[in-house]
Chains A and B, each alone.
Chain A
Amino acid sequence: GAGVSQTPSNKVTEKGKYVELRCDPISGHTALYWYRQSLGQGPEFLIYFQGTGAADDSGLPNDRFFAVRPEGSVSTLKIQRTERGDSAVYLCASSLTGLAGETQYFGPGTRLLVL
């Protein structure tokens, strides 16, 4: 079946602009995670959804970052007033229920470049 998909695959924007990144999890997966990966580093956790609610948003770097998942499926990561330091690959992952030991399946990521 279809895996996790993310759109757009690449996004170039200017400093100060607003961007939205979309994640379509595997159908039926209730848990959804956002990570950010800078060049040469491993992915860093941003936020975790269980259903429609954000169960853990401790990884969001500041209040310019916000994510929603209104119907418990598709999620959108929103970044306001983008800064050059926001340039990274934004990864989304989903798992069936989010319980211990479950595999997280990752999408290909959105490469964000802030000029």
Chain B
Amino acid sequence: DAKTTQPPSMDCAEGRAANLPCNHSTISGNEYVYWYRQIHSQGPQYIIHGLKNNETNEMASLIITEDRKSSTLILPHATLRDTAVYYCIVRVLGNTPLVFGKGTRLSVIA
């Protein structure tokens, strides 16, 4: 079972920041937080991951709380192409598969 909890859906206006929350209150010290997204009819796409420090790349920023029990994925300027299901995943070190929950369906509205 997924160890994360996400809201089932969110809306965001085009051009605004999209902030997607994730709760992972039972995360272990050696587990990373990963974010993937899945655009309709495509395979999941990696976005970003982190252990305890905030991370930023060309796609998004990841903010992890100090106690690591929750995190937020930030898309700074959402576009219509960002409409997708976003999955927050915690993953232990090692050769482990990804355990997906149901994710958050983000709809970016013009």
Q: Which residues of A contact B (CB under 8 A)?
A: 4, 31, 33, 35, 40-45, 48, 50, 55-56, 59, 91, 93, 98-101, 103-109
Instruction: Report 12 cross-chain contacts, Cβ distance below 8 Å, ordered by A residue.
Output: A4-B43, A33-B97, A40-B102, A45-B99, A50-B95, A55-B95, A56-B95, A56-B97, A100-B95, A104-B46, A108-B41, A108-B43
Q: Which of B39-60 contact A (CB under 8 A)?
A: 41-46, 49
Contact: A42 with B43, CB < 8 Å? no
Majority-rule SS of B interface residues: loop
Given A35-B100, A108-B42, 17 other A-B contacts at CB below 8 A?
A42-B87, A42-B100, A42-B102, A43-B98, A45-B99, A48-B97, A55-B95, A91-B44, A93-B44, A99-B95, A100-B96, A101-B32, A101-B93, A104-B46, A106-B44, A108-B41, A109-B43
- Tell me if B29 counts as interface (CB < 8 A to partner A): no
A43 CB to nearest chain B CB (Å): 5
